[in-house]
Structure 1
Amino acid sequence: MRDVARAAGVSQPLVSIVFRNAPGASEETRAHVLAVAEQLGYRRDERARLLRQQRSRLLGITFEPMQPFHGEIIEGIQLAAGEHGYNVTLSAVTAQRSEEAALDALLRDRCEAVLLLGSSLPEERLESVGKNLPVVSVTRASAAGAFDSVAIDDYRGVALAVEHLTGLGHRRIAYVHVDREAGGARRLTGFRESMAAAGLADQMLVVKGGASEAGGATAVESILARSPAPTAVIAFNDRCAIGVIGQARSLGHPVPEKLSVVGFDDSEQASLPYIDLTSLAQDPRQLARAAVGLALRRLNAGQAEISRAGEHVVLPTHLVARSSTAPLPAP
């Protein structure tokens, strides 16, 4: 502001009046000061101003850059937060940077609330953080206290996949399970119980894999090595399913002619014409709006709301059928 005042030939307090849009300056003076500020490339430090008011109006987000679906949720969070006058700051979880480190960075940035995408931190840790500021676990359902969560119905999603495949005539169905991922335990339970309910407990196969294309490729090698091999695969997520499809084709098992494949997320990748993946839909905008709503409700209610029991929102899912699944071929 000193630089602007010097260039405009006015006092620094007058510049402050103009920037705050407070009374005390003529319209001509306001226009002059703002024009000079524009020429100098001046930008007010909003974060410093808010911190003086004991506010940051920042929502912190931890996410995994390798998960495309996280990017879709982040876009929705930014839109929802902006509608309420909040900004977001991102903190990545990578192979070299733990989720704990990513969360700690957001806490140092004085975020007013944190939204954790696909968190694998112990619930006790989330409860501990939740005693001081709003915490929302996104895509990982919970029933714990002191923090909120929003996720889709993982159990029902896999049940829909089993219903879809059995409706196409498939009986030998494999599921690629991923440990320590959000929704993993519920999806696995949904698969086992749905197969048992269909009278196919002796036909199901669970193979551990990874939530990436490489993880899916490795898993399908093990699946196709079985005799008789499953005729359908439900993958933990879309990235895993894409790896299953690519590796199956390279091994001489075209999709869907010899192997039907179902993913999870219905990400942008799923609808690409050369993939055309049948997938269980998660609506990233709906997840984002619910997460932001949970965080802001606690913030708007004040400190008393921070310590209340968590609210846990479970959103419905539906199956989007595409060409990666087809009726069981005749023997």
Structure 2
Amino acid sequence: MSRSRPTIYDVAQEAGVSKSLVSLVIRGSKSVSKESEMAVKDAIKKLNYQPNRAASDLAAKSTKLIAILIDDYSNPWFVDLLQGLSEVLTPEGYRLSVIDSITSQADSSQDPFGNAMSMRPDGIIIAQDIVGFHAPDTAPPFVIAGTRLTPARPEDSIANDDVLGARLATEHLINLGHKKIAHLCVPGGAGSKRQESYIATMRKNGLEPILTQNQHPASEKVGFQDTLELLRNDPEISAIFASNDVMAIGALGAARELNLQVPSQLSIVGYDNTPLAQTRLINLTTIDDDSAGVGRNAAHLLLNKLFDAAPHPPIIHTLQPALIQRGTTAPLIEC
């Protein structure tokens, strides 16, 4: 090895396993197979690997608390994210503290990351947009979950491929014969990526994008109002791609208000594959962004940072989305 002091990455390479698995073995996790455990221990012995002293000191002062920054308790996307986080962090003895830093604060100028730090957590999961975010030198280890507004510098992150997901949703409607396809926009990192991809896909297929101008957080009410305005201004719109499932459910309500049948008169696609979308009553066609998988991966990234404090280039993982076709989309019926 070229390094004078072996790292956890060297151990993982020597053992032929992932860095996450090495961390689990060193922490004494019971979720590792005997074969993998032996391979890691043999590699540690061979390389004479010693855990980072700073990480050991941090563990000695551990509060066993992980702070999770979200921006909307009412968005069911966070349900699966938190489930994924809990599946990994709870068995390791960590408590999760969820902070809704938007709706729970009267003064939106407060620093949400600073508020989380005041709890003295071992680590932080950032699952909200923070404009121009730059962590202070005293910050605990943290990971960004989901596509967020660009931070001041690259950070460890895990997200769904929003560009691909939005393209799948838009192409699905185009392939069904729809030409007048509107997009319910939402602000933020993920919303911007989905909007840009929708526009690019429409134009690539020779179609004109139809966009809402919403600058409010995603909600059923906003989805309802925006859809009413779209359809009243342009009754020829035959399909809607909503930036998330909450907005799509609002669109379903607007269709009912206007006595439009879904999907025979109006097709609707959401995004996130939330528990609500999966119910038989709503049965929403949507994009599955594996939000629970985002949570699990974010938790593993954070555990790695908690254990091994050695500097490393930012780790950026992207999960592949999938179209889930249900009962709210159908081929265009030409009148």
TM-score by length of 2: 0.76
Matched, 1:220 2:220: no
For the residue of structure 2 that corresponds to 1:266, the secondary structure is coil
Once residues 284 and 234 of structure 1 are traced to their aligned partners in structure 2, the CA distance between those partners, rounded to angstroms, is 19
Q: Which amino acid is 1:122 matched to?
A: V
Correspondence for 2:276 among 239, 261, 269: 269
C-alpha offsets along residues 112-148 of structure 1, whole Å, 9 cap, x if unaligned? Answer: 111011x12123x2x3247632221211255763622
Once residues 319 and 297 of structure 2 are traced to their aligned partners in structure 1, the CA distance between those partners, rounded to angstroms, is 9
Show the counterpart of 1:69. 77
Q: What is the CA-CA distance between 1:166 and the residue it aligns to?
A: 0.9
Q: What is the CA-CA distance between 1:56 and the residue it aligns to?
A: 1.4
Q: Which amino acid is 2:318 matched to?
A: V
Once residues 59 and 160 of structure 2 are traced to their aligned partners in structure 1, the CA distance between those partners, rounded to angstroms, is 39
Correspondences of 1:2-151 after superposition (within 5 Å): 53-63=60-70, 64-97=72-105, 98=108, 100=110, 102-117=112-127, 119-123=128-132, 125=133, 127-129=134-136, 132-141=139-148, 145=153, 147-151=155-159
Once residues 224 and 304 of structure 2 are traced to their aligned partners in structure 1, the CA distance between those partners, rounded to angstroms, is 43
Describe the shift of the 1:99–1:273 C-alpha distance in structure 2 as closer, same or farther (beyond 3 A): farther
Q: Which amino acid is 2:183 matched to?
A: Y
RMSD: 2.2
For the residue of structure 2 that corresponds to 1:230, the secondary structure is coil
Q: What is the CA-CA distance between 1:260 and the residue it aligns to?
A: 0.4
Contact 2:131 2:151 in 1 (8 A): no
Describe the shift of the 1:286–1:144 C-alpha distance in structure 2 as closer, same or farther (beyond 3 A): farther
Q: What is the CA-CA distance between 1:286 and the residue it aligns to?
A: 0.9
Once residues 131 and 199 of structure 1 are traced to their aligned partners in structure 2, the CA distance between those partners, rounded to angstroms, is 51
For the residue of structure 2 that corresponds to 1:229, the secondary structure is coil
Describe the shift of the 1:143–1:96 C-alpha distance in structure 2 as closer, same or farther (beyond 3 A): closer
Contact 1:93 1:99 in 2 (8 A): no
Q: Which amino acid is 1:326 matched to?
A: A
Rg bigger for which structure? 1
Q: What is the CA-CA distance between 1:208 and the residue it aligns to?
A: 2.5
For the residue of structure 2 that corresponds to 1:62, the secondary structure is strand
For the residue of structure 2 that corresponds to 1:265, the secondary structure is coil
Contact 1:65 1:93 in 2 (8 A): no
Once residues 66 and 95 of structure 2 are traced to their aligned partners in structure 1, the CA distance between those partners, rounded to angstroms, is 6
Contact 1:137 1:149 in 2 (8 A): yes
Show the counterpart of 1:298. 305
Contact 1:91 1:103 in 2 (8 A): no
Percent identity for Structure 1 against Structure 2: 28
Correspondences of 1:141-180 after superposition (within 5 Å): 141=148, 145=153, 147-179=155-187
Q: What is the CA-CA distance between 1:183 and the residue it aligns to?
A: 0.4
TM-score by length of 1: 0.77
Once residues 213 and 228 of structure 1 are traced to their aligned partners in structure 2, the CA distance between those partners, rounded to angstroms, is 21
Q: What is the CA-CA distance between 1:66 and the residue it aligns to?
A: 1.0
C-alpha offsets along residues 207-260 of structure 1, whole Å, 9 cap, x if unaligned? Answer: 133511001011111210233531000001101000001111111222112110
Contact 2:117 2:139 in 1 (8 A): no
Q: What is the CA-CA distance between 1:99 and the residue it aligns to?
A: 8.5
Q: Which amino acid is 1:116 matched to?
A: I
Once residues 328 and 109 of structure 2 are traced to their aligned partners in structure 1, the CA distance between those partners, rounded to angstroms, is 34
Q: What is the CA-CA distance between 1:57 and the residue it aligns to?
A: 2.2
C-alpha offsets along residues 255-287 of structure 1, whole Å, 9 cap, x if unaligned? Answer: 112110000000000011221100000212211
Q: Which residues of structure 2 form unaligned runs of 5+?
A: 1-56
Correspondences of 1:234-249 after superposition (within 5 Å): 234-249=241-256
Describe the shift of the 1:52–1:267 C-alpha distance in structure 2 as closer, same or farther (beyond 3 A): closer
Once residues 56 and 122 of structure 1 are traced to their aligned partners in structure 2, the CA distance between those partners, rounded to angstroms, is 28
**Higher relative contact order, structure no. (Cα contacts within 8 Å, ≥ 6 residues apart):** 2
Correspondence for 1:315 among 306, 316, 319: 319
Once residues 131 and 260 of structure 2 are traced to their aligned partners in structure 1, the CA distance between those partners, rounded to angstroms, is 40
Contact 1:134 1:147 in 2 (8 A): no
Describe the shift of the 1:135–1:99 C-alpha distance in structure 2 as closer, same or farther (beyond 3 A): farther
Matched, 1:257 2:267: no
Q: What is the CA-CA distance between 1:199 and the residue it aligns to?
A: 1.4
For the residue of structure 2 that corresponds to 1:310, the secondary structure is coil
Q: Which amino acid is 1:237 matched to?
A: N
Describe the shift of the 1:89–1:121 C-alpha distance in structure 2 as closer, same or farther (beyond 3 A): same
Contact 1:145 1:309 in 2 (8 A): no
For the residue of structure 1 that corresponds to 2:173, the secondary structure is helix
Matched, 1:206 2:207: no
